[in-house]
Structure 1
Amino acid sequence: MSETSYRDISLNGLWKNNPAIVQLLGLCPLLAVTGSVINAIGMALATIFVLTVSNTCVSLIRNITSDAVRLPAFVMIIAAAVTCIELLMQAFAYELFQILGIFLPLITTNCVILGRADAFASKNPLLPSMYDGFIMGCGFAVVLILLGAMREVVGTGAIFANMDLLFGESAANWKIVLFDDYTEFLVAILPPGAFIFTGLIIALKNLIDTEIKRREAAKADTSAPSSRRVRVTGHIS
């Protein structure tokens, strides 16, 4: 696969076809676990792991699975990867594993993962499929962490609380209090806040895309007259 294709995969995963704010897939964990940055990071790492592993395995078996067993095989691969990340989190971040609760095993039914396995990994070679899984996971993770940070700051007036749940005791003092004597704004942490801030992120992306298109159109309009002048001059001479 050419460098241009890898560039396209990167742009699609991180911006143009971001699974969270463009495709609007995987909204259940996105909205449910992003009450804080640490929760978002835990879910983000799990999603990246499962997407990368599942895309890799699906690409490896793409030529030996029949259409009759294709989707069940994909689901079994995804379920195995989810089981692995659950066991890892139980071993190394048990308290965070308990906080994430049912949303970890529900990664198995996440439309982002099954969608990439069926739409990309089942049709492409190993390395592009592995990279697609990783970059799509990163795009999903960026939105998770951004949403978690926004909700935590607005809801509690602080950020990076309880980082020791994932990074060990040395991370216990990573918490940054942005506003002293802050009255907690519980709506931001509760489910309505998830919908509100997700809508704001989507609106911001749409504004940026609109501005980019406007500038590209203005640039094209500016360059068009000069091109016509060059053609006319060449014709006269």
Structure 2
Amino acid sequence: MSHENSYKKIVKEGFWDNNIVLSQCLALCPLLAVTSSATNGLGLGLATTAVMMASNVLTSLGKGVISKAVRIPVNIIIIATLVTLIDFILNAWLHPLHKVLGLFIPLIVTNCAILGRVESFASRSAVLPSLVDGVAMGIGFTWVLTVLGGIREVIGSGTLFTNASLLLGDTFSFLEVTVIPDYRGLLLVILPPGGFLILGACLGIKQKVEQVIKRKQESSADLLARG
């Protein structure tokens, strides 16, 4: 397989085929707790992406010198150190967002998806593919958090990307939209049970899309075989 095709496969797996949430159903605790708005989902997703990228690169660089006997503890230390740095950075420069995300930033350490990718991919791959895998998996996680948070925010409070300027700066304040004016809101959707309902709908949509794609591919293959 060529490098280009290999990278395309890595990106496709991270975005869709092996998506952390929609395929592996991992990191559901922070996902359901944080995604009460699109901004919160985006913030946690970007922080997780930064940790995944850096941990994959560092693990790949050290795979030749770290013994297999201590690889998992060392990887956990690497991830914990990176999460601590991200926590300090958010607290220093994005303090309002840090207060919103709160405990869920340190809990990135316990995100088994990060340790899973480090163990299953980065510890066995070169630096560049490991970096691409970290970016793809992280962005795949981020877009699901953002979409889920956006849906919950619109249905729950009638707004979209509230406080986006706190995360992205005043330049992006245009993202803060009131979708439904004078809307009283639907509290259930903002609470974790509503997150479960929206997540279940997203999982069902993914399955349906994959079935449609599979049927189209089978139909195309049949037409080629007959031709």
Give the TM-score normalised by the residue count of structure 1. Answer: 0.92
Per-residue deviation, 1:180: 1.8
CA offset at residue 174 of structure 1?
3.9
Question: Match for residue 144 of structure 1?
Answer: 145
Q: Which has the larger radius of gyration?
A: 1
1:100-119 paired onto structure 2 within 5 Å:
100-119=101-120
Shift of 1:164: 2.4
TM-superposed CA distance for 1:171, in Å, is 4.4
Q: Which piece of structure 1 moves more, 112-121 or 97-106?
A: 97-106
Distance 1:124 1:204 in 2: 33
2:96 aligned residue: 95
In structure 2, relative to structure 1, the CA distance for the partners of 1:66 and 1:219 (3 Å cut) is: same
Which residue in the other structure is 2:197 paired with? 196
Q: What does residue range 38-187 of structure 1 map to in structure 2 within 5 Å?
A: 38-172=39-173, 174-187=175-188
Structure 1: distance between partners of 2:172 and 2:222: 53
Distance 1:219 1:100, change over 3 A: same
Q: Does 1:209 align with 2:176?
A: no
Q: How far 1:73 sits from its partner (Å)?
A: 0.3
State the 1:169 CA deviation: 4.2
Q: Share of identical aligned residues, percent?
A: 43
Contact 2:42 2:143 in 1 (8 A): no
Deviations along 1:100-128, one digit per CA (max 9) or x if unpaired, are: 11110010110110000000000001111
Give yes or no for contact 2:37–2:152 (8 Å, CA) kept in 1.
yes
State how far apart, in whole Å, the 2-side matches of 1:20 and 1:151 are.
16
Q: Tell me the amino acid that sits aligned with residue 148 of structure 1.
A: G
> Per-residue CA shift, 1:24-78, capped at 9, x if unaligned?
1111111110000111111011001000000000001111111211000000000
Gap runs ≥5 in structure 2: none
Question: 1:95: Cα distance to partner?
Answer: 1.2
**2:74 partner amino acid:** A
Please identify runs of 4+ aligned residues in structure 1 that moved more than 3 A: 168-174
How many residues were matched structurally?
A: 226
Name the SS for the 1:69 alignment partner: helix
RMSD over aligned Cα atoms: 1.2
The residue type paired with residue 73 of structure 2 is P
Alignment partner, residue 21 of structure 1 = 22
Q: Is the 8 A contact 2:39 2:163 kept in 1?
A: yes
Residue 4 (structure 1) aligns with? 5
For residues 178 and 164 of structure 1, the distance between their equivalents in structure 2, rounded to whole angstroms, comes to: 17
